[in-house]
Copies of this chain bind each other. A is one copy, B any other.
Amino acid sequence: MSITGNRRERERAQRHRLILSVARELAEAEGWEAVTTRRLAERVEYSQPVLYSHFKGKDAIVAAVAEQGFTELAELLGRERAAARGDEPRLGLRAVCRAYLRFAVEHPALYQAMFVMPTQLAFAAEETPPALRAAFDVFVEALPEGIEGREARAELLWAALHGISALSATGRVPALGESARLDLLIDGIAPGGQASRSGGDGL
C-alpha cells in the first residue's frame, strides 16, 4: 500500500459512484431495459470489464441503485414527518403518505428498481436494508401512538401505497382520484378524525 494508493482508492470510489449515477440517469431517461452493460460502459468512458470489477453483475448494479433509493426515501419521509410534527397527527401521516407517492411518480425507474425488479434480497429476513427499515419506521411512528396493531397498520399502509404506485405507474388504475383514495386509506387505517381533504388531485 503505497502513498499513491490512497489516491487510487479515492478515484476508484469515485468511479464506483459514477457508474451508479450514470446507470440511474440512463434508467430514468430511457427505462431500465435501455441500461445495457455496453451503453453503461460507454457513458462511463471505460470498457465493460471495469463494471465487473466494481459489481458482480448487472443485477448488482440495479440493486446498488435501489439501495441508494432506499436511503433517499427514508430521508425524504423522515424530513416530511419532522416538518409536520407540530400539526395534527393525521396531517403528519398524510404528509408522509403524499411524500411517498410523490417519490414514486418523480423517480419511476428508481422506484421500480427498489420495489418491482426481481431481486435476491429476502426483505423479511435479517438482511433487510437498514434504510428500508428506517423508511418503514417512519410510517409506524406517524401512526397514533396508542393505536392497536400499530405495526400491522403500518405494513398495510405500506402495501397499499405500493399498490397505488405500482398500478398507477402502469396505468392499471386511473390516476385521477388519487387524493380521494389517499383520504380513504388514511381514514381507514388510522381512524379517528374525519377526512381532511386538502386540495384536489394534484398529488
Question: Interface on A for B, CB 8 Å cutoff?
Answer: 33, 115-116, 118-119, 121-125, 149, 152-153, 155-156, 158-164, 166-168, 170-175, 177, 180-181, 184-185, 187-189, 191
Contact = CB atoms under 8 A, between A and B. Distances in A.
Given A116-B116, A163-B164, A191-B188, A152 B171 contact: no
Contacts of A123: 170-173
Contact of A167 (B33, B162, B172, B188): B162
The SS class assigned to the A binding surface is: helix
Contact of A189 (B124, B159, B167, B184): B184
A181 B166 contact: no
A197 to B, nearest CB: 11
| Copies of the polypeptide in the assembly | 2
Contact of A177 (B155, B173, B185): B155
Contacts of A152: 177, 180-181, 184
Nearest to A170: B119
B184 A153 contact: yes
B163 A181 contact: no
Given A159-B160, A161-B163, A163-B164, 6 more contacts: A116-B166, A116-B170, A156-B181, A156-B184, A159-B164, A187-B188
A25 B180 CA distance: 40
Contact of A160 (B125, B156, B170): B156
A152 B160 CA distance: 14
Contacts of A188: 156, 184-185, 187-189, 191
Given A184-B189, A188-B187, A166 B177 contact: no
